[in-house]
Every structure is written in structure tokens, then in C-alpha cells.
Structure 1
Amino acid sequence: MMSSQVSSWRGGSFVYRLIGLFHPWREGSYLLQWAEPIGVLLVALVLLLAPLVSTTLVGVLLIAGGAYWGLLTLSDRDIIAITPIHILVFFYWGAATISVAFSPVTEAAFQGWIRLTLYLVWFALCARVLRSPALRNWTITAFLLTSLLVSVYGIRQQIFGVDHLATWNDPDSVLAESTRVYSYLGNPNLLAGYLISAIALSLAAFWVWRTWIQKGLAVTAIIVNTSCLYFTGSRGGWVALVGLAVAFLVLMYYWYRQNLPPFWRTWLLPIVFIILGGLAFAAVTFVEPLRLRVMSIFAGRDDSSNNFRLTVWFSVIDMIRDYPWLGIGPGNNAFNQVYPLYQRPNFNALSAYSVFLETLVETGIIGFTAFIGILVSLAYEGWRKLSCLKALNHREGLWLIGAISAIVGMLTHGLVDTVWYRPAISTVWWLMVAIVASYYPQVEAAKKKESA
């Protein structure tokens, strides 16, 4: 019934008829015979340059990627893999669009809407070109190599010292003068948010890649990226690493459980968590800088960073009360124009310091519901595809584990910060979402082949 309804909609939809409009031209184009590899080059170029260059240049690259996705869509006669994730992303974009129309600062919100649209088209391009396992592998490799460059520079800052570009440490703390690295990203919390996905995919790479050289590169990436994350001193990043690790271990246990002896099927996960918990407790106990930073999480308003966030959150909640359904419109420009009307004295803020509060204040309850729908769909579709790949014994499922773990880590960090609204992080976030979505046609094709 549903299939026939969708087919009827396709037959009567003017927009859907545009798909494949340029297909005759594509058949005669030598360049578009390499359509997917060219798309991956554009994706890799964004991943390579996003941490290193200005926001303007990243925006130009995203526009180019969006134009290329449009060209692929109009010249492709194959049925486009529209997943539930795509549909909910579209609903989220629709909610953001409506919020612009009713925003108290329409011009600023429209600017934010343009940036959001570029990120969502970037997601569509990534989901489109990463359907190939080989191209997915090359894209992830490019990202991991870039993360190594970023982390090595961050570790160099730790060794040789670096000037603070902002007041990142509590001035009353004994760690007030400690170094917090930020590499090319200009902010230690931003760097931590960037490295979460790199660590998750590095862990997955160790299990996916086959040769010793490849595994050596994966281990190097794990060690270097994790070390750099520690040197950021970002408490949100450290908590995100815990969330990432828990998700990765649980999913890996699920993936390999049937290969384990009966004893280890029952006790492996508890033993691993006990060992890791013991190591973490020992580190917090005997490494003073780590202990002081971790304990500051529980200091409440006695810690200046905690006090700042709590104060901003209460102001943001006031904003949400006044704009509950549609919000103030997307983007930090809209936030910066409305927030001063609600802020407490001396508590200037560029964002809500929480992804969930930021989404709620920008797009209201309607947009926030769509955002939560995306997360639920990611969990459901990710689990379904992982189960199918496990049943089919496809090693590609391990990349899916890495992407899901990265999403868990970034959302954990997002509870207390909005760093992944910046281009370097937002492109990585939507890349992780696209990786999950890209498995949809691959799994369906593998299931048909298996049943044939």
C-alpha cells in the first residue's frame, strides 16, 4: 500500500520528474563517468581545509559541493536512496525555514538559514557519494590524516607553549596558568569537539584495515588524537570521550559476541569496564592536573566556567519561554541579536553552550522535535543496518560502529557546549550522519543478493 502511494506521488510530482533531466548529457560526458570519485574529492577537500582556513573559504567549498550534488541529482536516473534520515533532515530544514519567516530578527536568521542549508546539502552529497565502500574508506582515511596534522600541531603547542587567546581557565584555580592547546582551530573546546570523531574512526580503522602498515597508522592516530584531546583540557571533551568509549565497546561486543566462548560472552564487557574504570580512577587520583579539572565539574557555581554556563542557560530558557514554538531563527547572528535582551550583566555569550538548548531556542519546539527525530532515526536505522551487516559478515559494519560512536560522543559534548555549530565541527557532524545514511542502499543490495 505504502509503496503504491509513493509510486503515485513520484508519478505526479513535478520535482521528482526533474531527477534524471540531464541524464542524456551525462551519458556523453567523459567527466561525469567519474561522478562519485569527483564528489569524494570535493568532500575530502572540505575535510582537509575546514580546520585550517577561514569560514568564508569553507562556505565557497560547500556551495561548490551543493552545486555538484544538484548536478548529480538532475543527471542520475537511478532511484535516489531516500532514507528515513533524509526525510527527517528535510523536516528539520523545513522547521528552520519557517522559523526564519517568523523570526524577530529576520535578516540575521536568514544568514543562519543559508549556512544551515549548506550543511544539509553537504550531508546529502556525502550520503550520495559514500555509498561505495571503497570511496567511503578513502574519505575516512583523508579525514584521519587531516586529524593527525591538527593533533600533531596541538601536541607541539603543549611541548613549546602557546599564548591563551581567551580566558579558558578559572582565574582563581591553581591551573589558571596551565596550557590548553587549540591547534589550528583557535579554541581548545572546539579542538576537542573535532577530535572526538577522529578518535572514533581511528578505533574503527584498526579493525577494518588489514595490513600492518594500515593498523600502525590507525594506532598512531588513536594515540596522537587522544593525547591531543587530553591536552585541550576540555572537560566536555573528556566526558565525550567516555561516552564514545562506552558506545564503541558495547557495539564491538555485539559485533563479535557470537565468536566468543561462553564465559567471555557473559563477562567480557563487565571485566573491560572494570579495568578501564580502575585505570581512570587511578589517573584521577594520582595525576593532579587531571584531578583538579575533573573535580571542577562538580564544583557548581564555585567554578567560573560552570557559573558562566549556568547563567547563560537560565537566560536562554527565558528566550525559549518567549519564542517557544518557532524559536528566534537559526544561526549565531540571530542569537547574538536577541540574547543581549535577556542576558545577565557581564555574561556575554555567543551561543547557548548546549546543542539541545541552541536547537530549541533557534527553531522552537517544532524544530527541536525534528532534531530529536533525526537522532532517533540514526539510532534505529544505525542499529538495523549494523545487525544486517553483522548477519552478512560485512566488515564495513565496523565503520558504522565508528560513526555511531562518534555521534554519541559529539552529542555528549553537545550537552554542555555548541562547538559543532562551527564549520570545522559541523561538517564532521553531518559527515557522521551521512555515513550512517549511506549504508541504506548498500545493505538493501546485499540483502537482495543474499536472498537471490
Structure 2
Amino acid sequence: MGAHKETAWAEGALGWGPRSQQVLKLGVLLLLLVVPLVYGGSYLSDYFTAKFALLYAGIGLLLAIWLGQHAGSERIRIERRSYDRPLVVYAAISFFSLFWAVNPLQGLETWFTQIWLLAFFLLVARFFSSSRALWGALWTIALTSFVVSVIGLLQYRGIHLVPLAYGHWGNFGVSTLGNPNFVAHYLELSIVLIAGMVLARRRLWEKVGLGALLLFEIYYLLMTRSRGGWVAVGVGLFALHLLYRPQSVRRILLAGALIIVSMGAVGAAVGKGVPTESEQSLFTDALDQVRAVRDRALSSFDPNHFSVLQRRLIWADTVALIAEQPLLGVGTGNFAFLVPAYRTVTRHRAWAELIANRPHMPYYAHNEYLEVWAENGIFGLAAMLWLLSTLWWLAWRHLQSVTGQDARALQAGLLAALCAALTHSLVSLNLQDPTSALHFWLIAGLAVAGSHGATGSARVWVLGGLRRVFFFVAAVPAVVGVYWGLGVLVADYYYFDGQRKYYDFNQPNRASLAFAQATEWRAHDFRYHHMLGLIKMQGRHPVEATRILSRAEELHPNNAPALRLLGQGLYWSRREEEAIAILRRAIALDPLEVEPYSMLARALHDRGLRRQGEGDGDGARASFMRAIDRWQQALAFAPENVDFLRSLGIEYFSVGSIDDAEAALVRAAQLSPEDGLIQGNLGAVFLAQGRLAEAEAALVRAAAADSLRAEWRG
């Protein structure tokens, strides 16, 4: 009976195998459809979160389906591919770099993201080798990109088919992707693929329809003003031309140019009489758009243009980081935690002038190759380039072996799309954008699926009685992916809910509860601890705030705003030595922020008083002199700050620089003549100078302004 049940179970599992492949292919297409369209709306902090959550859960389920289909087999046969070795080497280097990362849990999450995407690539390469599966993926991309483009272009006209995410307003065509550059990350792939589809299809109506979609998406790409996207598409289309090569391409390009010119002439004639919302004709409006595109393109050659200078500053910081740690890097996913320490004062000034009140440090290098080098060292970069070049070489070899112009056009389109993405990755973060990263690895899988890159060798594992155990093991990636995606989603929901309650509704207690719940789901995210510590500080709970902010400092040791709060909390907790060390780090990380200078000066003053009480006169004087330096630095930012001037005068008096104390206090008194503390200290200075009448007058004013202080009355 037991043997019969075992046989029946095995037969059922074997029967599930073919069905599971269909389910797996359908799941891949569903991800291609949903990931670009889903976003958090008014419930999440950014457009990435929901996409990543769906990606984690979806790929985890796909892996479970793939592993589950082997549960009824006696043995598993895995063919070795040419890309296996560089893939494993890259994954291993990326993982081992976590051992010296400052935030290994954040790095582990980033590493798992890489592994999930690489696993997705392997699934596509294994199951999408047929022409039908390939066309299914391409048509899904074409349909989804059309929907994304319609939503985005209508947004430019003030028609919002989907609500903008919280904090976004105006008629910006970000569609469901969240940023014009993220739109370009996606469109540069879809445009090149659709161009390949135009060449591959034989029916005229399909060519016309796909050609219209191609022009439609190119127009949307131009509207995004993404110069990196424009260059990437240009490189991709040029690569498509070189790779496909038949004479028919030239005829198609010539016919396309004639169609565009004809459509433009007809549109100009019709559009002259059609008004727009700005009371201009469509023709005039179109000319304005052309001029805007031209000006945007020319701005690429302006080294001081906003986005150009921004990237130059980020790249300079990144290169400085790499120069210090070129071999091993700082650890996967830890670039953002280390790069702030490498910004010079000159670059701080340039950045402050450029972005004003925006955040002062980037999270990405805006160059995928530099970021990999910074995180995984030169060996990690070499492994990544090895993997990418192997994939490109396999796809190229497959292009040379395919027969038929249709198949050649599709393979050329896949290779050209990879070229477009790798070009844009020189100036952006498209391989970390969940939508474009998913599509990049899909395209890589499709490009090598035909040949598989088989080496002719394989490894076989005999399962035997472990088949049932293997079936349950197959559920592990599904559980991990779903829980991981849910954790990211729920944590970000609470984090964003806390931000709204704190900043928009002035409900710090409720915001504190929300941030605490966010830390329960993702305890390694420094942002949650930072916000929780901020609320505790503003609620005058320095001891608790210090404990929370110390954890934020462990997770992100170079987060200047959190260090400023931590230094303040330590000072209020009467731990001035620790406060001094933290505040010095905060100043080094952001030397243009005035607050830590004044806080550090107060901490140094308190240290001086303590050493004075201990009988260490030299130590006390040294502390007071350092405090004077900090007050002078603070006054360089705010030369008429009364508090700074008064404190500087007191410090000068403490070290016996009576004339300097008088100058600072007189200036403070001119700015705030009713300040009793200024008048009282000015009276003490006059007494020290022997100017008794002026001292008496100042002390009388001090007693009148601040009658509770007995010292003014002598």
C-alpha cells in the first residue's frame, strides 16, 4: 500500500511538471505587466516600494514552481552554461563583501535582490527558448509600455487617469514610474524592442501598428527630457541597424523618415488652426516642444548645468571612495552609508549652491559601474563585466547562427536593447530601478535562451526517497519572497504614515508609534530610527533619543542630520565628551550646517568649566579656546546672531581676552539692547577694565531686564 501511494504521488508530481511550466511562463508575463503599472499611491513613500515588494514575492513564487516541478523526478539534471561561472563568482564576491559592510543587513537585502534578479534571468533563459514564448514576452512589453505611455502623456495635459503619489503635484508625465528618468529607463528598452518587432513582423497592419506605437513612445521619451534616455535609445537603434544589417533596413528607415515628414507636414497644416490650453495653435505648441528638446540636448555640453554638475560632484565623491578602498569596496548595498565621508568642503559648497534645501547626499552613484566598484571592489567590477560580456557574446553567437530574417531581427533587437540599457547605466541607476532591472534581466535571458550557452556538460542529482522533502524545500523561496515583499511593503507604509502624521498633521505621538512599528518590520533601515529619535528629542526625552539615535548611527555612521541630533542628545544628557566626538563628525560630514558648531562650542565650554573645577587650568583654557574657534565658525554663517555673539564674548572673558570680549558683547548689545544676560556680562567686562561708571550702568540695565538674577545686584 505504501509503495502504491508513493507511486501515485510521483505520477501526480510528474503530471504537474508540464502544467507548472505553463504557469511559470504566465507568471513571468504577469510580472512584466504588473511591475511597471503598480505603485504605492498615497500610501507609500516612493514609487519603488510596491514594485520591489511585488518583484520579491513574484520571483519567489516562480522559483518555487520551478523547484516543485522536479519533486516527482528520480533525478535532476542541470546543464552547465557558459555564464554559470561568472554569475557564481559575481554573486560570491558580492556576498563576501558583506563581512566588512557597516550595515550588513541592508547589504544582505540588496544581495538578495541581486540573487532574485539573476534567478529570474535563469528561469527566462531556461523556459523562453521557443518563438511563441519570446513573442509572448515582447507583446506583453509592447502592450504595457503603451499603457504606461498613455498615462504619462495624458498627465502632461492635466488628465490624470491614476492619482499622483503623495507629495507629487502638477502635470508631470511620470506615469506609474515616479520620475522622468525612471520612465526613460523603461522606454529605452521597450522602444528598441518594438523597433526589432517592426522589422520581424510580416503583415503590413502589424508593421504599421507597431510603427505608430514606436513613434508614440519616442514622443513620450522626448517629453521626459531625459538626455540619458535619448542617448541610450540612439545607441540602441544604431546597434539594431548594425546588427540586423540587411539592405531592407535602409529602405525601412527611409520609408519611416518619409512617413514622419509627411505626418509632420499634415499635422502642421491642420494644427495651425487648433488652439491649445495656452491659446496657442498645436503647431506653435509643437514648435515650442521642439525648441525645448533642442535646448535640453545642448545643455548636456554645459558643465554647470544642474544635472550635469550634480553627477560630476557625485562621481568625484565616488572616485574618492574608490581610491581609498579600490580592492574590496565597502560592501554590497553600503555605498550610500560611506560616500558622504568623501565629500570635500569645496564640493559641499558647490552642492549647496546647486540644490539649495534638498537632501545633501545622494543614495546612488548614478553610474552603475562605479557603484559596483565602490561596493565590491575591483574584483567585483571585473566579475560583473565578465558576466555581462559573456551574456553579450553568447547572444551575439546566437545571432550569427539564427536562420530567417524574422528571428534575426528579434535577436538583434534584444542585443540592441541590452546596449541601450548598458549605455544609460553610465549616467544613471537603471539596473537598480525595479522596473528596468526586471526587464534588463528578462531581455538578457531571452537573448541567450536560444543557445542556452550550453557547455556540453551537466550535473545530475539523484533524489530517490528525498523527493517529498524536496517538494517542501521548493516552498522556501516562495515563503521567503512573500514575507520579504510583505515586510518591505508594511514597513514603508508605517514609515510614510509616520511622516505624514509628524509633518502634515502635527501628531508626534502617533507618528512615534508608526515609526516604532516600521522598525519592527525592518530594523536595519536607519531612516526609521532617525525619525523616531527626532521625535524623542523634540519631546525633550534626550536619554531615550540618544539610545535610538545611537542605533541609527550604527546603521548609517555618516548621516550628518542624525549625528547632529545624537550630539545634541548626548549634550543634554551631560555626556559632553561623547557629544564633542559626535558633533565633530557631524561638522566634518556637513561643514555648511551652522547648528553643530554652536552645540560643539557649548560642549567645549562645559568641558572647560569641568576641568577648571578639577584644577586643570591649562586644560580648561584649551577647551575655552576651542570653543572660541567654534563660535567664530558659527558667526561666519550668521554674523548677527545675538546668541552666538553673547556666547563668544563670554568665552573671551573666560580666557582673559577682555578687549575681544568687549567687542563681541557691545555688538550683541547693539543688536539686542534689552537682553539682560548681555548687559550683565558687559558690566563684568567693564569692571575688569576699571570702567566703573559704565559697569554700573550696564549692571543696572541687566537688573532691570532680568530681575531674577541676583548676581547683577552684587
Give TM-score, length-normalised by structure 2. Answer: 0.51
Cα contact 1:285–1:291 (8 A) shared by 2: no
CA 1:286/1:68 → structure 2, altered by over 3 Å: closer, same or farther? closer
Residue of structure 1 equivalent to 2:629: none
**Deviation of residue 427 (structure 1)?**
0.3
Residue of structure 2 equivalent to 1:67: 64
**Residues 223-238 of structure 1: pairs in structure 2 closer than 5 A:** 223-238=215-230
1:138 and 1:284 map into 2 onto residues whose CA distance is 38
1:166 and 1:363 map into 2 onto residues whose CA distance is 35
Amino-acid identity (%): 25
1:189 and 1:244 map into 2 onto residues whose CA distance is 17
Letter in structure 2 aligned against 1:35: S
Task: Spell out, residue by residue over 1:298-340, the C-alpha distance to the aligned partner (whole angstroms, 9 max, x if none).
Answer: 001x201111110010111122123222322223xx2222222
CA 1:26/1:287 → structure 2, altered by over 3 Å: closer, same or farther? farther
1:182 and 1:140 map into 2 onto residues whose CA distance is 23
Residue of structure 1 equivalent to 2:337: 337
CA 1:100/1:419 → structure 2, altered by over 3 Å: closer, same or farther? same
- Of 346, 362, 382 in structure 2, the residue corresponding to residue 369 of structure 1 is 382
Residue of structure 2 equivalent to 1:243: 235
Residue of structure 2 equivalent to 1:288: 291
Residue of structure 2 equivalent to 1:204: 196
Letter in structure 2 aligned against 1:409: A
2:105 and 2:452 map into 1 onto residues whose CA distance is 39
Cα contact 1:180–1:231 (8 A) shared by 2: no
- Of 321, 324, 327 in structure 1, the residue corresponding to residue 326 of structure 2 is 324
Cα contact 2:367–2:426 (8 A) shared by 1: yes
2:327 and 2:180 map into 1 onto residues whose CA distance is 34
Cα contact 2:86–2:387 (8 A) shared by 1: yes
Task: Spell out, residue by residue over 1:226-249, the C-alpha distance to the aligned partner (whole angstroms, 9 max, x if none).
Answer: 111111110100111110111011
Aligned length: 393
CA 1:108/1:220 → structure 2, altered by over 3 Å: closer, same or farther? same
**Deviation of residue 293 (structure 1)?**
0.4
1:158 and 1:246 map into 2 onto residues whose CA distance is 29
**Deviation of residue 101 (structure 1)?**
2.3
Query: Secondary structure at the residue paired with 2:431?
Result: helix
Residue 176 (structure 2) pairs with residue 184 (structure 1): yes
- Of 93, 96, 103 in structure 1, the residue corresponding to residue 94 of structure 2 is 96
- Of 291, 299, 303 in structure 1, the residue corresponding to residue 302 of structure 2 is 299
Task: Spell out, residue by residue over 1:345-369, the C-alpha distance to the aligned partner (whole angstroms, 9 max, x if none).
Answer: 3441120001111121122111110
1:128 and 1:89 map into 2 onto residues whose CA distance is 15
Residue 210 (structure 2) pairs with residue 218 (structure 1): yes
CA 1:326/1:374 → structure 2, altered by over 3 Å: closer, same or farther? same
CA 1:443/1:401 → structure 2, altered by over 3 Å: closer, same or farther? farther
1:194 and 1:52 map into 2 onto residues whose CA distance is 12
Q: More deviation in 87-96 or 360-369? A: 87-96
CA 1:233/1:180 → structure 2, altered by over 3 Å: closer, same or farther? farther
Letter in structure 1 aligned against 2:56: G
- Of 124, 134, 139 in structure 2, the residue corresponding to residue 126 of structure 1 is 124
Task: Spell out, residue by residue over 1:342-400, the C-alpha distance to the aligned partner (whole angstroms, 9 max, x if none).
Answer: 245344112000111112112211111011112221332122111111xx336323221
Query: Secondary structure at the residue paired with 1:82?
Result: strand
Residue of structure 2 equivalent to 1:152: 150
Residue of structure 2 equivalent to 1:314: 316
C-alpha root-mean-square deviation of aligned residues, in Å? 3.4
Residue of structure 1 equivalent to 2:408: 397
**Residues 136-147 of structure 1: pairs in structure 2 closer than 5 A:** 136-147=134-145
CA 1:88/1:284 → structure 2, altered by over 3 Å: closer, same or farther? farther
1:129 and 1:98 map into 2 onto residues whose CA distance is 31
CA 1:413/1:33 → structure 2, altered by over 3 Å: closer, same or farther? same
Query: Secondary structure at the residue paired with 1:291?
Result: helix
2:198 and 2:145 map into 1 onto residues whose CA distance is 16
Task: Spell out, residue by residue over 1:69-107, the C-alpha distance to the aligned partner (whole angstroms, 9 max, x if none).
Answer: 333466676754433233322221111111122323322
Query: Secondary structure at the residue paired with 1:349?
Result: coil
Cα contact 2:97–2:329 (8 A) shared by 1: yes
1:437 and 1:130 map into 2 onto residues whose CA distance is 10
1:81 and 1:439 map into 2 onto residues whose CA distance is 14
Q: Which runs of 5+ in 2 are unaligned?
A: 1-6, 39-49, 262-285, 353-359, 457-714
Q: More relative contact order in 1 or in 2 (CA 8 Å, sep 6+)?
A: 1
Q: Which runs of 5+ in 1 are unaligned?
A: 1-21, 169-176, 446-452
Letter in structure 2 aligned against 1:348: M
Residue of structure 1 equivalent to 2:421: 410
CA 1:27/1:236 → structure 2, altered by over 3 Å: closer, same or farther? same
Give TM-score, length-normalised by structure 1. Answer: 0.78
Query: Secondary structure at the residue paired with 1:51?
Result: helix
